[in-house]
Amino acid sequence: MNTDATLEALIATALAEDVGRGDRTTTWIVPADQAARAVIVAKEDAVLGGLRAAQRTFEQVDPGLRTLVAHRDGDAVRTGDVVLRVEGAARGILTGERTALNFLARLSGVATLTRRFVAAIAGTGARITDTRKTTPGWRALEKAAVRCGGGENHRFGLDDMVLVKENHVAAAGGIVEALRRIRAANREGLLVEVEVRNLVEFDTALALGPDRILLDHFDLAAMREAVRRTRLHAGPTPKLEASGNVTLATVRAIAETGVDLISVGALTHSAPAADFSLLVE
């Protein structure tokens, strides 16, 4: 996917939504030739994501506006830190303010929550990954924000990886038949992952040698047993991914079972927005 094109289209849509027929307040108060300088300031500790989106928002509103970032995406900032400066026509700055802040707040929120999960499992060898539980249309941006926070991206969409879930298994009549059909059709050599719900299904999947096995809502004891069986397996050893109701309170214990990946839908579907403010100097 062309991320730049996606970003430009999203910004255009967001500005059309916000500005509508025109920014009445600004145009009726602020003279067209009035210049201004402004800063965007962090109002809480956060990890940055979406700086490019904020810059391009101002530049779409008025190509004459000049922006300067004081940090980079992925940087940790503290309350009161200036993260971006913008100068030029006051009208453009004020009209673009809310849309720029919305992008920055949402994406920094994703990056910040991801960094918390990554920090929670430090030293275990496990890795945090996202899911497809993203805001429609925002996937490229939100997955980039996950990377800013130190997480990894799972498949981007349905076309770049095979994930055999329980409904696929039911449709095929079993894991064995589902994987047989996948192997017959997978001429692109896509990564193949199988979701299992218990150790019986796990053993079936392990014997078939997929690239990954997703342990769906396994308890800690079952995860440890799946890890043990994988390490003893004589054939190909798939990566193990834990998934299901993962929280900051539970993620460390999950990582310590020895799984390779922990997928966290909350990174993108429940991250609280980070708080930023634009101040005219």
CA distance 2 to 88: 30
Instruction: Give Cα 107 distance to the centre of its chain.
Output: 8
Q: Look at residue 87 and give its three-state secondary structure.
A: strand
Q: Is 17 known to be catalytic? A: no
| Active-site residue, from 37, 43, 116, 133 | 133
| Active-site residue, from 37, 165, 181, 252 | 165
Instruction: Give Cα 165 distance to the centre of its chain.
Output: 21
Q: Is 143 known to be catalytic? A: no
| Active-site residue, from 18, 62, 216, 256 | 216
Q: Is 216 known to be catalytic? A: yes
| Active-site residue, from 97, 193, 195, 201 | 195
Q: Look at residue 45 and give its three-state secondary structure.
A: coil
Q: Is 98 known to be catalytic? A: yes
234 CB burial (10 A radius; 0-12, 13-18, 19+): exposed
Q: Is 195 known to be catalytic? A: yes
Q: What positions carry a catalytic annotation?
A: 98, 133, 165, 195, 216
